[in-house]
């Protein structure tokens, strides 16, 4: 999609050039920036390369406007210093760990407002929302200064060191008749979809989306798509693990148990298997996020040895749309 001037924010007068997303090579660079952050600040990174793949393939349909929705912020020398993505209406963003002042974030906020207005024409008001983390309180202050208010949603970032985990940790016993196995490819798609949709009901997951995860997500590995199988052969629980080999960090996204099979220890069992498989691949750390209000998930991750490292807080604001100056009647 062609970008209009309205969405090319202040690009020439600052330290960064804003550039529209141009496809898989840019996607890989966005992930490389996350990886660099994991190397530098570890679990204080806002998101993981696997999150990007889940958002792009698991939670989105192919999007003809994707180049408008994602903006890359490069230095004069062409180095990627940050990216911003209007994902499901919210601003998701990531900046290089050396960009410590708020200037780049501020430009991303301006870009978000201009682009969101262009992408969602009509209505009197524009709704903007985004996230800041508890380790960057100054960003929260800046959002408040700009009129954003706390939306009341919190994401808890959990991590655990896998190097310290004993090799011989016993696998938790499964209830009788249940077993654990990897997703075996497209023949398992209907079952995998069914358990996903039950866990997250009402879910927006579709055949097409999950098939894209399995076939197009660059680092999807069937052996890390782990399910608990019920005595009747259906899938009862799952964890999809993402392994970023260069940074040696694994991610769980998503985790769930079918509504008919809860509180049997199945999510614990598949996640435990995920931790073992990640470790066997060379992972040194695992990471997972949970809604703060999701008591079951928070307890589950704590019971698996994850510890909280920080929180993300959602911010939102409504602004009146700017009228078209040409449409204002001249009283004279």
Ligand X SMILES: CC(C)(COP(=O)(O)OP(=O)(O)OC[C@H]1O[C@@H](n2cnc3c(N)ncnc32)[C@H](O)[C@@H]1OP(=O)(O)O)[C@@H](O)C(=O)NCCC(=O)NCCS
Q: Nearest Cα to 65, choosing from 122, 8, 132, 120?
A: 120
Residues 281-310 that bind ligand X (CB under 6 A): 290, 294-297, 299-300, 303
240 binds ligand X (CB under 6 A): no
- Least distance to ligand X, CB of residue 235, Å: 12
8 binds ligand X (CB under 6 A): no
Written as one string, the DSSP assignment of 57-116 is IIS----TTHHHHEEEEEETTS-EEEEEEEETTEEEEEE-TT--SSHHHHHHHHHHHHHH
- Least distance to ligand X, CB of residue 32, Å: 26
- Least distance to ligand X, CB of residue 164, Å: 21
Q: Nearest Cα to 233, choosing from 188, 272, 265?
A: 188
Residues 193-212 that bind ligand X (CB under 6 A): 199-200
180 binds ligand X (CB under 6 A): no
**CA gap 66, 20 in Å, rounded:** 9
Nearer to ligand X, 26 or 51 (CB): 51
Q: Which residue shows structure tokens 């890989």? A: 28
Query: x-or-dash pattern for ligand X, window 39-68, by CB under 6 A?
Result: ------------------------------
**CA gap 109, 117 in Å, rounded:** 12
219 binds ligand X (CB under 6 A): no
How many helical (H) and strand (E) elements, i.e. helices and strands, does the chain have? 9, 12
Question: For residue 23, what are the contacts with CB-CB under 8 A and spacing of at least 6?
Answer: none
237 binds ligand X (CB under 6 A): yes
- Binding residues with ligand X: total (CB under 6 A): 22
149 binds ligand X (CB under 6 A): no
Count CA atoms closer than 13 A to 30's CA, side-chain side.
30
Sole binder of ligand X in the list 257, 272, 287, 312 (CB under 6 A): 257
256 binds ligand X (CB under 6 A): yes
84 binds ligand X (CB under 6 A): no
Which residues of this chain interact with ligand X, rule CB under 6 A? 199-200, 237, 254-257, 262-268, 290, 294-297, 299-300, 303
């Amino acid at each position: 999609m062609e970008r209009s001037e309205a969405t090319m924010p202040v690009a020439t007068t600052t330290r960064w050039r804003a550039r529209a997303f141009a496809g898989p090579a840019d996607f890989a660079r966005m992930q490389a920036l996350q990886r660099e952050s994991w190397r530098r600040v570890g679990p204080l990174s806002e998101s993981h390369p696997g999150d990007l793949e889940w958002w792009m393939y698991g939670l989105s349909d192919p999007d003809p406007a994707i180049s408008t929705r994602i903006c890359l912020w490069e230095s004069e020398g062409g180095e990627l210093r940050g990216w911003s993505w209007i994902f499901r209406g919210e601003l998701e963003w990531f900046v290089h760990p050396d960009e410590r002042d708020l200037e780049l974030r501020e430009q991303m906020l301006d870009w978000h407002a201009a682009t969101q207005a262009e992408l969602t024409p009509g209505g009197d008001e524009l709704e903007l929302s985004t996230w800041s983390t508890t380790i960057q309180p100054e960003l929260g202050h800046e959002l408040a200064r700009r009129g954003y208010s706390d939306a009341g949603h919190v994401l808890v970032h959990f991590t655990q060191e896998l190097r310290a985990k004993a090799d011989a940790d016993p696998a938790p016993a499964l209830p009788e008749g249940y077993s654990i196995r990897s997703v075996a490819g497209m023949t398992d798609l209907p079952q995998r979809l069914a358990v996903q949709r039950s866990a997250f009901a009402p879910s927006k997951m579709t055949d097409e989306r999950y098939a894209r995860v399995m076939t197009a997500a660059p680092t999807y590995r069937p052996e890390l798509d782990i399910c608990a199988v019920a005595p009747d052969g259906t899938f009862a629980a799952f964890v999809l693990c993402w392994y970023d080999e260069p940074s040696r960090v694994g991610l769980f996204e998503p985790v769930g148990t079918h509504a008919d099979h809860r509180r049997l220890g199945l999510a614990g069992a598949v996640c435990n298997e995920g931790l073992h498989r990640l470790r066997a691949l060379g992972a040194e750390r695992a990471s997972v996020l949970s809604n703060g209000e999701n008591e079951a998930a928070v307890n589950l991750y704590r019971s698996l040895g994850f510890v909280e490292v920080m929180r993300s807080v959602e911010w939102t604001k409504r602004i009146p749309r700017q009228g078209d100056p040409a449409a204002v009647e001249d009283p004279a």
